[in-house]
């Protein structure tokens, strides 16, 4: 099953977005730091709300680029 990576300002914001979209907990995840993405692959990435506002721009960009790269692994 393909999951959705929610890049949000915090875990609560990710949770609220997932609930508003009727997503089950098994359908999405929220990475708090780049290491949370290292063993994941084949997922979609959605940037939610204040995602880039709560961390330095360079850290957000690092997480975003890593999510795009890791999410594409295993897709046809």
Does the pLDDT value for residue 76 go beyond 70? no
pLDDT of residue 19: 98
Candidates 52, 48, 40, 42; CA nearest to 23 is 48
Sheet with strand 28-29: strands edge to edge: 28-29, 3-7, 43-47
Give the model confidence (pLDDT) of 4-63 as tens digits.
999 998 999 999 999 999 999 999 999 999 999 999 999 999 999 888 787 788 889 999
**What global pTM score does this model have?**
0.90
Does the pLDDT value for residue 1 go beyond 80? no
Could you tell me which residues come within 8 angstroms of residue 49 by beta carbon, excluding any fewer than 6 positions away?
A: 8, 9, 13, 17
């Amino acid at each position: 099953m393909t999951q959705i990576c929610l890049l949000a300002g915090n875990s609560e914001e990710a949770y609220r977005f997932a609930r508003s979209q009727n997503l089950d907990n098994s359908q999405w995840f929220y990475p708090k730091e780049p290491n949370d993405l290292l063993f994941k692959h084949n997922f979609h990435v959605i940037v939610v709300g204040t995602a880039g506002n709560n961390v330095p721009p360079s850290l957000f960009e690092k997480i975003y680029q890593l999510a795009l790269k890791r999410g594409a692994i295993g897709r046809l």
